[in-house]
Every structure is written in structure tokens, then in C-alpha cells.
Structure 1
């Protein structure tokens, strides 16, 4: 089991139309974690709390940075969640 704390920049979400920004942030987070943990994007599972942290300010204003904890299991499944003592930052 491999565990990492990763700070992900979601700044590219500002390049898409306002009504697609939170969805784009989720896809950027998924691709970034997949690249760092060396798995496919289909094997990345995003926790409900992390999803709610990204969507907390609505679809038009997701956070620019977010710190996540990624845990890779033996079957190449990666679970991504918020660290225990952290919340989304601007």
C-alpha cells in the first residue's frame, strides 16, 4: 500500500466556461493523481468528502489549489480523499 499527500493546482479550470469548471476540476484532479500514482484514470476513486469540497463553492468557482491524500492498494486502485486535518484552500 502506497500513500502520498499531494498538493494539486487546479488553475486550468479557469480556462473553460463558467458552467463547466467544477466538472473540469474533478477531471484534472483524476488525471493528476493517475499520473503521479502510475495508474489509469479509471482506477482513481474520489471520496465523497473531496467531491463536496470541490463543489462547495458551486459549479463556477472551484478551489485553485487542493491538498489530497492518495492511497494506492495492491490491485492498482487509488482512493483519493482529503487529508485528516485539511480543507480546500483558495
Structure 2
């Protein structure tokens, strides 16, 4: 089982309109992990998703620390606590 830690900057989400920022942040996380792990199937854990949506759709965090684990040929991203 392979495990890696990443700090993902979410600055690209802030170029989106206010009402779409957290949706964009979720896509930024997914695309970042696809690029860096070279795997197309990336799952976002519930804890990470709730952290991104914690302040609502208008104010996602500026960066997020993620622990990525390989499970059955797909990558699962968990929030680092």
C-alpha cells in the first residue's frame, strides 16, 4: 500500500465567481492528484470534502494538506489532521 502527503494550493479556485468557488476547489484537488499520482480514478474522502465545504460555497480554504493512499488501483485522498 503506497501513501503520500501533498499540500495542495487552491488559488485557482479563487479565480472563479464567488458562488462556484468550493465546487472549483474540489475539482482543483481532484485534477492535482490525477496529475501527480498518474491515476485517473481519484476518490475524495468524506472528511476532506467536509473540510472543503466547511465555510460554504463562497469561502474555500487557501490550501489543504492531503494524505493519498492507493486502494484497489484507485487513489483515495484523506484530510491530514
Q: CA deviation at 1:76?
A: 2.1
SS at match of 1:62: coil
**Gaps (5+ residues) in structure 1?**
none
Match of 1:76 in 2: 73
Alignment of 1:1-90 (within 5 A): 1-40=1-40, 43-73=41-71, 75-83=72-80, 86=81
What is the total number of aligned residue pairs between the two structures?
81
**Gaps (5+ residues) in structure 2?**
none
Cα-to-partner distance string for 1:19-69 (whole Å, 9 max, x where unaligned): 1000000000000011111111xx101001100000001100000110000
State the TM-score, normalizing by the size of structure 1. 0.86
Q: Which runs of 4+ in 1 moved over 2 A?
A: none
State the TM-score, normalizing by the size of structure 2. 0.95
Structure with greater strand share of residues: 2
